[in-house]
Chains A and B, each alone.
Chain A
Amino acid sequence: MRRAWKHSLVGCALSCSQRYKTWQSMATACGYLRKASMKSEGYASKADRLGAEIDITGYTPDRIRNFSIIAHIDHGKSTLADRLLETTGVITKSGKNKQVLDKLKVERERGITVKAQSASMFCEHDGRKYLVNLIDTPGHVDFSYEVSRSLAACQGTILLVDAAQGIQAQTVANFYLAFGEGLAVIPMLNKVDLPTAEPDRAALQIESAFEIDAANIVHLSAKTGLGINRVLPSVIERIPAPSGSIDAPFKALLFDTWYDKYVGVVCLMAIKDGAVRRGDRVVSMHSGTRYEVMEVGIMHPEQRPATQLQVGQVGYVVCNMKSVAEAHVGDTFHKDKFPVVPLPGFAPAKSMVFAGVFPLDAGEFDKLNESIQKLTLNDSSVAVHKETSAALGQGWRLGFLGTLHMDVFRQRLEEEYDASVLVTAPTVPYRVQYKDGTSKYIQTPADFPTAIEIQDKVDAVMEPFVLATLIFPEQYLGAMLELCTMHRGDIHTHTYLDESRVMLKCRMPTAEMVTDFYDQLKSRSQGFASFDYEDNGYNESDLVKMEVLLNGEAVDALAAVMHRDNVATVGRTMAKRLKDVIRRQLFDIIIQTAANGKVVARETVKQLRKNVTAKCYGGDISRKMKLLNKQKEGKKRMKKIGRVELPQEAFLSVMTGSKE
């Protein structure tokens, strides 16, 4: 079970697991793009940095272009970026850059970009010199918050589509994000050298999905370099120069930050007006705090100090900021005593799924606490609340932007900080409206009101919804419609992108999506469907709390919230799953699932009658001891609820969505 769940999360990022290897090599190629959270190594001494300061004051807005590349995962964004940096000499073609690869292990493994990055290039076009800034965007919609803030620093974007695969669901989501920002969108087709490429068909899909003219679309092969020389000219010609004035007071948008252990917080800013240089005193409009600027510069691709950053440019600012919490992404900065009208800013990242995180061993609480703090230093989009569970003790309830975000966080926690953690099944935030007019968000199923409370005090229970976009070959239309209906989905539209590809939009409860939806999508479409979603508000829903009792005692960490229609099925499935994952112990373990005060299902894990190795003589001793020590390790990974030992999988058995 656990594997299935994990897979569904990983699956969100990897559109097709067979291509995983290819992606790793591509991720290698994009290594020059520094990973935001890992920029601490090799910070040069101050003297060195001052000596290397470059002067970019000659690059006025008309000589600057700020752009991003948006693409479905695996459509070649990183390879394209790599080629662009090579042709502009930012990195050499020696292949040395491949050693720098994606520094976050999870990013490397999954071929995804989690944090936004930026790199500056100098190039010549029609005899004039330009400073072109590539602002990278994460590909996955879980990180759409990151995408939108990256886009706010650009004036245009390249919409990169794989000529063989055509438009995928993430392409659509990212396009609308860019379109919503009013950016110039330049479609380009990548991988046209592949024998399976169908550029005309992909162009047609672009036209029908986005209603943009794809007649003179650029054909590329980022891998072979074909068409690369047309990319930057298109960017310069078709993307507008940034606006703003050098004479106006300094005004900048903070759009990304990371923590450097030597200098503190490093801020990436887009300069909207005026200029900033070392020694200036700047003010955060969000907090009113003053900072002295220690260093400014561009990402080239490493931090390269500059004498000054000015209107239209995008670069980093180091200003004595001690904690990432002070760096409010979307904040406007101005010079001390020269206030400006603030930029619109961003709404704070909103948690879409929640999960309980607990140390496997209560003695590890402090260590885990430190790990979580360190990780959230670089990822302020994780919402952190302390939580105490009767069953699991002290822990946290963490809010994530999506299930991939959650899984990435968990993996980073385990790998980078060597923490043994128990992560409970994902839940979505429910909203309860009380008769007295108050309302409350429920992040933990244990806090969900009981049937009696609902009857007496509650006016309405609401659950969050998403609008899902599915793109797939038409022969799977029946299967996809059935899948959506089965997950309490409402089909909004289905559109033919070309004669054989369908785009389906469907509104469904978020809770349905965080369970096995993605696995089902892939298996029912033999891997050909792609999927993306966006937040779509709340609706009243007939929800109930399902409790799990082990030997008569309710285990709060196993409680789940679900639609009343699913109670019988899910209750039975949950009890069966728990029976399958709970190992026999020296006493009977009775598992009950109950809702509305009634037992829905009951299973028994029978007492273990015999557990003893039959033969143990001289030659068997080493083997026996090895086995014993392995079993002891395994036991450490169990969570004890009273005397019942629960494996991690037990907590993931609690899935609230509809099941087949």
Chain B
Amino acid sequence: MAPARTPLSLYVHWPYCSFLCRFCAFSKARVPAGGVDHALITRALLAELRTSLAPHSRDKELRSIYFGGGTPSLAQPAHVAQIIEQASRLVPLAASAEITLESNPTSAETDKMAAFKAAGITRYSIGIQTLDDGVLQRVGRLHSGAEALAAANRAASLFPGHVSLDMMFGFESQTVDQWQRELETVLAHANGHLSLYQLTVEPGTPLFRDIRAQRVKRNPDDTLALMYETAVALCRSRGLAHYEVSNYAASPESQSVHNIGYWQGRQWIGIGPSAHSRFIDPASGTCLRTVRIPDIQRWVRSCLEHGHGTAKSETVDDAEARQEAVVFGLRMLDGLSNARFMRTGCVSSGALSLAEYLRVNQVQRYLRDGYLRSSGRLDHLAPTERGLQVIDSILLDILP
């Protein structure tokens, strides 16, 4: 019998957007005046894909592919198909592989949805963000709330049980009541999965500058906390289980396999400008973290000349790997098993258990106070709902 293949994820970054949201801190660019040179970008992506996946063809299998961006729904379905096909030729696709595409709910993109399904997409994620047309306009999004709901309905019929809707809360002047009403509406259109993000003010964004110049007011922290709590309660009452800080699913099958990979420390390869990767280098056996060139033109040139656009590659040592395993493992309500922690992808210097690694006194205190839960002698450690809400504070105490 052939040895089991190690799961691998693939992230594909499609860098263009038709509009730029004022809060967005991701790497992206507005579609250039003459339109996107789709063929060129695809050629570069395929080149980088080939170079990056080839070393993994022997012992890995692709558990998930994720088209993110930017706005990958602006890409041509035929090119998406080409990328999926080439990826699966390099590293075999697992039988139940999840292939997600992120999209914006403009009618033009909704019209392409069936073609994306035909291209091999199995899970469709729609960035609704808010249903409030005034807010949509203020943050720079060129679609309406009604269009978003229409897109959600269309996706539900094409990808039943595998649709994810993205929403944000905490926009200026939004009240808890308004948020609750919006969420009720979205829940009525949900089909399997919701991602509900608190609006985060990231340095370098136009929103950040607006807030600094006091053109936009920030919601008080306690209001944001109440909105979060409202979301948790409302989703639960509608049968959507909270499984990660910002993610809710109707059933385990509806959870995002790809994103769970990040939180569980799975290896992934990212292609496209600014994409990150984290994998064990088959040649050296060391764990690497790499970042691609962020500038689109330079990245394209590098891919065409050298077969990849890697800008930076660094080793992830055991200490970092362990820290990451805890920090990301505890973002999930399922938490982290000691068995998984001890196998943590990159650990080469002998295994360490959770009980040996963490500051046990602090863990005990949080267990006692109902912020964490565990089984056995830390065979498994997970946050409670209450703990997850303040997990960043807890991590500072329990990490060595």
Q: State the A residues within 8 Å of B (CB).
A: 585-586, 606, 608-619, 621-622, 624-625, 628, 631-632, 635
Residues of A near B228 (CB, < 8 A) are 610
A contacts with B: majority SS: loop
Please determine whether A616 and B245 come into contact, CB atoms closer than 8 angstroms. yes
Nearest-Cβ distance from residue A619 to partner chain B, whole angstroms: 5
Nearest-Cβ distance from residue A151 to partner chain B, whole angstroms: 54
Most interface-central of B222, B270, B275, B278 (chain A CB within 10 A): B222
Residues of B near A616 (CB, < 8 A) are 245, 262-263, 328, 331
Residues of B near A614 (CB, < 8 A) are 197-198, 200, 245-246
- Would you mind naming 29 contact pairs between A and B with Cβ atoms under 8 Å apart? A585-B393, A606-B222, A609-B222, A609-B225, A609-B226, A609-B390, A610-B389, A612-B389, A612-B391, A613-B245, A614-B197, A614-B198, A614-B200, A615-B200, A616-B263, A616-B331, A618-B11, A618-B268, A619-B27, A619-B270, A619-B274, A621-B289, A621-B324, A621-B328, A625-B323, A628-B399, A631-B392, A631-B396, A632-B399
Taken together as a complex, chains A and B put the C-alpha atoms of A562 and B395 apart, in Å, by 41
Please, what's the 1-or-0 string for B212-240, where 1 marks a CB less than 8 Å from any CB in chain A?
00000000011011101000000000000
Please determine whether A615 and B197 come into contact, CB atoms closer than 8 angstroms. yes
Please determine whether B245 and A612 come into contact, CB atoms closer than 8 angstroms. yes
Nearest-Cβ distance from residue A580 to partner chain B, whole angstroms: 15
Residues of A near B221 (CB, < 8 A) are 609-610
The number of A-B residue pairs with CB atoms under 8 Å apart is 87
Give 9 nearest A-B pairs by CB, closest first. Answer: A609-B225, A610-B225, A614-B198, A611-B392, A619-B276, A614-B197, A611-B390, A611-B393, A618-B276
Please, what's the 1-or-0 string for B321-350, where 1 marks a CB less than 8 Å from any CB in chain A?
001100110010000000000000000000
Most interface-central of B197, B225, B331, B393 (chain A CB within 10 A): B393
Please determine whether A632 and B396 come into contact, CB atoms closer than 8 angstroms. yes
Residues of A near B395 (CB, < 8 A) are 628
Nearest-Cβ distance from residue A382 to partner chain B, whole angstroms: 36
Residues of B near A632 (CB, < 8 A) are 396, 399
Nearest-Cβ distance from residue B338 to partner chain A, whole angstroms: 21
Nearest-Cβ distance from residue A617 to partner chain B, whole angstroms: 5
Taken together as a complex, chains A and B put the C-alpha atoms of A61 and B320 apart, in Å, by 72
Please, what's the 1-or-0 string for B247-272, where 1 marks a CB less than 8 Å from any CB in chain A?
00000000000010011000010100
Please determine whether B388 and A612 come into contact, CB atoms closer than 8 angstroms. yes
Taken together as a complex, chains A and B put the C-alpha atoms of A585 and B369 apart, in Å, by 14
Residues of A near B388 (CB, < 8 A) are 612
Besides A586-B393, A613-B392, A619-B26, 11 other CB < 8 A contacts?
A586-B371, A586-B390, A609-B221, A609-B225, A609-B226, A610-B390, A614-B198, A615-B200, A616-B245, A618-B275, A621-B278
Residues of A near B324 (CB, < 8 A) are 621, 625
**B393: contacting residue among A608, A615, A617, A624, CB under 8 A:** A608
Taken together as a complex, chains A and B put the C-alpha atoms of A489 and B278 apart, in Å, by 67
Taken together as a complex, chains A and B put the C-alpha atoms of A613 and B390 apart, in Å, by 9
Taken together as a complex, chains A and B put the C-alpha atoms of A609 and B262 apart, in Å, by 26
Nearest-Cβ distance from residue B23 to partner chain A, whole angstroms: 11
Please determine whether B390 and A608 come into contact, CB atoms closer than 8 angstroms. yes
Taken together as a complex, chains A and B put the C-alpha atoms of A586 and B268 apart, in Å, by 35
Residues of B near A628 (CB, < 8 A) are 323, 327, 392, 395-396, 399
Taken together as a complex, chains A and B put the C-alpha atoms of A150 and B225 apart, in Å, by 64
Please determine whether B276 and A610 come into contact, CB atoms closer than 8 angstroms. no
Nearest-Cβ distance from residue A637 to partner chain B, whole angstroms: 13
Given the known interface contacts A609-B222, A631-B396, the answer about A619 and B327 at a Cβ–Cβ threshold of 8 Å is no
Given the known interface contacts A615-B200, A617-B259, the answer about A622 and B399 at a Cβ–Cβ threshold of 8 Å is no
Taken together as a complex, chains A and B put the C-alpha atoms of A628 and B11 apart, in Å, by 25
Q: Interface residues of B, CB < 8 Å — how many? A: 41
Please determine whether B393 and A621 come into contact, CB atoms closer than 8 angstroms. no
Please determine whether A612 and B197 come into contact, CB atoms closer than 8 angstroms. no
Q: State the B residues within 8 Å of A (CB).
A: 11, 26-27, 197-198, 200, 221-222, 224-226, 228, 245-246, 259, 262-263, 268, 270, 274-278, 289, 320, 323-324, 327-328, 331, 371, 388-393, 395-396, 399
Nearest-Cβ distance from residue A166 to partner chain B, whole angstroms: 43
Taken together as a complex, chains A and B put the C-alpha atoms of A614 and B37 apart, in Å, by 34
**B327: contacting residue among A585, A609, A624, A635, CB under 8 A:** A624
Question: Who on chain B is nearest to A634 by CB?
Answer: B396
Residues of B near A624 (CB, < 8 A) are 327
Taken together as a complex, chains A and B put the C-alpha atoms of A544 and B390 apart, in Å, by 41
Taken together as a complex, chains A and B put the C-alpha atoms of A613 and B228 apart, in Å, by 12
Question: Who on chain A is nearest to B228 by CB?
Answer: A610
Taken together as a complex, chains A and B put the C-alpha atoms of A270 and B154 apart, in Å, by 98
**A625: contacting residue among B26, B222, B320, B371, CB under 8 A:** B320
Residues of A near B392 (CB, < 8 A) are 611-613, 628, 631
Please determine whether A615 and B225 come into contact, CB atoms closer than 8 angstroms. no
Residues of B near A611 (CB, < 8 A) are 389-393
Residues of A near B198 (CB, < 8 A) are 614
Question: Who on chain B is nearest to A624 by CB?
Answer: B327
Question: Who on chain A is nearest to B397 by CB?
Answer: A635
Please determine whether B276 and A621 come into contact, CB atoms closer than 8 angstroms. yes
Please determine whether B278 and A618 come into contact, CB atoms closer than 8 angstroms. yes
Nearest-Cβ distance from residue A330 to partner chain B, whole angstroms: 53
Nearest-Cβ distance from residue B330 to partner chain A, whole angstroms: 10
Please determine whether B327 and A625 come into contact, CB atoms closer than 8 angstroms. yes
Residues of B near A615 (CB, < 8 A) are 197, 200, 246
Question: Who on chain B is nearest to A585 by CB?
Answer: B393
Taken together as a complex, chains A and B put the C-alpha atoms of A548 and B253 apart, in Å, by 55
Taken together as a complex, chains A and B put the C-alpha atoms of A618 and B259 apart, in Å, by 8
Taken together as a complex, chains A and B put the C-alpha atoms of A635 and B327 apart, in Å, by 17
**A619: contacting residue among B275, B323, B371, B396, CB under 8 A:** B275
**B262: contacting residue among A618, A622, A631, A635, CB under 8 A:** A618
Taken together as a complex, chains A and B put the C-alpha atoms of A427 and B224 apart, in Å, by 42
Nearest-Cβ distance from residue B323 to partner chain A, whole angstroms: 7
**A612: contacting residue among B323, B328, B390, CB under 8 A:** B390
Taken together as a complex, chains A and B put the C-alpha atoms of A309 and B2 apart, in Å, by 94
Nearest-Cβ distance from residue B303 to partner chain A, whole angstroms: 18
Nearest-Cβ distance from residue B179 to partner chain A, whole angstroms: 14
Taken together as a complex, chains A and B put the C-alpha atoms of A617 and B270 apart, in Å, by 12
Residues of B near A625 (CB, < 8 A) are 320, 323-324, 327
Taken together as a complex, chains A and B put the C-alpha atoms of A617 and B274 apart, in Å, by 14
Residues of A near B200 (CB, < 8 A) are 613-615
Please determine whether B276 and A622 come into contact, CB atoms closer than 8 angstroms. yes
Residues of A near B27 (CB, < 8 A) are 619
Residues of A near B331 (CB, < 8 A) are 612, 616
Taken together as a complex, chains A and B put the C-alpha atoms of A614 and B228 apart, in Å, by 10
Nearest-Cβ distance from residue B344 to partner chain A, whole angstroms: 14
Question: Who on chain A is nearest to B323 by CB?
Answer: A625
Question: Who on chain A is nearest to B394 by CB?
Answer: A586
Question: Who on chain A is nearest to B246 by CB?
Answer: A614
Taken together as a complex, chains A and B put the C-alpha atoms of A262 and B392 apart, in Å, by 52
Residues of B near A610 (CB, < 8 A) are 221, 224-225, 228, 389-390
Question: Who on chain B is nearest to A613 by CB?
Answer: B392
Nearest-Cβ distance from residue A221 to partner chain B, whole angstroms: 47
Taken together as a complex, chains A and B put the C-alpha atoms of A624 and B395 apart, in Å, by 12
Residues of A near B399 (CB, < 8 A) are 628, 632
Nearest-Cβ distance from residue B340 to partner chain A, whole angstroms: 17
Taken together as a complex, chains A and B put the C-alpha atoms of A611 and B371 apart, in Å, by 13
Taken together as a complex, chains A and B put the C-alpha atoms of A622 and B315 apart, in Å, by 12
Please determine whether B327 and A618 come into contact, CB atoms closer than 8 angstroms. no
Residues of B near A635 (CB, < 8 A) are 396
Taken together as a complex, chains A and B put the C-alpha atoms of A618 and B270 apart, in Å, by 9
Residues of A near B327 (CB, < 8 A) are 624-625, 628
Taken together as a complex, chains A and B put the C-alpha atoms of A622 and B399 apart, in Å, by 17
Taken together as a complex, chains A and B put the C-alpha atoms of A608 and B220 apart, in Å, by 12
Taken together as a complex, chains A and B put the C-alpha atoms of A619 and B28 apart, in Å, by 13
Nearest-Cβ distance from residue A274 to partner chain B, whole angstroms: 67
Taken together as a complex, chains A and B put the C-alpha atoms of A624 and B25 apart, in Å, by 14
Residues of B near A586 (CB, < 8 A) are 371, 390, 393
